[in-house]
Amino acid sequence: MAAVLMHRPLRAAVLASVVLIARAGSAHAHAFLDHADPRVGSTVTAPATVTLVFTEDVVPAFSHVAVADEAGKAVATGALLNPEPATLAVSLPALAPGAYTVTWSVISVDTHPTDGHFTFTVRGP
């Protein structure tokens, strides 16, 4: 009987935890960078666009992607595109060989802000 007394509340608490987690349904979270094209840290031939895929859907109106060369000079990118809910992209002019830094800041659809940066290198001819 004592064992039953002990186990019932514990079992109920554990069950409640499981139900709560299950009820969460579609979870939301910070939007972290899942992958990019060009890939983070890669060396590539001059790309026509930079594409960032996040772990969560983002709000493009409150998001930003910028590209700068080795000297820190901003590259004149095209307008920010949002081809998929979790994807942002910008078109690039013809890039000269060298290292480029992509800086991004996004707001996920559940309002978490995140930001980051990475580099890629355009190989010479």
Partner 1 sequence: METHASRRRTLLRHLVIPFTVMLGLAVTVLTADAHGVVGQRTFIEPFITEDVNPKNEFVIARPEWDHSRDGDAFSLGFGLEKKLSDNLSLTLDSAWLHVSPEHGSDASGADNLGITLKYAFFRSDPHEAIVSAAVESTAPVGVRAAGAEPDWSFKPFLLYGKGAGDLPDALAYLRPFAVQGDAGFEVALDHERTTVLAHNVAIQYSIPYLQQSVHDFGIPWPLNDLIADVEFNFENGVHPGDRGDNSVIVTPGIVYMDRWVEIGVAGRFPLNARANDDLGYGVVGIVDLFIDDLLPWTRWQPF
Binding region for partner 1 (CB under 8 A): 1-3, 5-6, 9-10, 12-13, 16-17, 20-21, 23-24, 27-30, 32-33, 35-36, 39-42, 55-56, 99, 110, 112, 114-119
Q: How far is the CB of 28 from partner 1 (least distance, A)?
A: 5
Among residues 54, 56, 48, 98, the alpha carbon closest in space to that of 73 is found at: 98
Question: b/e map of 6-45 (b: 16 or more CB within 10 Å)?
Answer: eeeeeeeeeeeeeeeeeeeeeeeeebebeebbbeeeeeee
Q: How far is the CB of 122 from partner 1 (least distance, A)?
A: 16
Nearer CB in complex with partner 1: 93/99 = 99
Nearer CB in complex with partner 1: 14/78 = 14
Q: How far is the CB of 84 from partner 1 (least distance, A)?
A: 18
Q: How far is the CB of 8 from partner 1 (least distance, A)?
A: 9
Nearer CB in complex with partner 1: 39/123 = 39
Determine the Cα–Cα distance for residues 20 and 67; give it in Å rounded to an integer. 42
CA 46 to each of CA 7, 119, 120, 124: distance values in angstroms, whole numbers, following the listed order: 64, 13, 10, 9
Nearer CB in complex with partner 1: 9/124 = 9
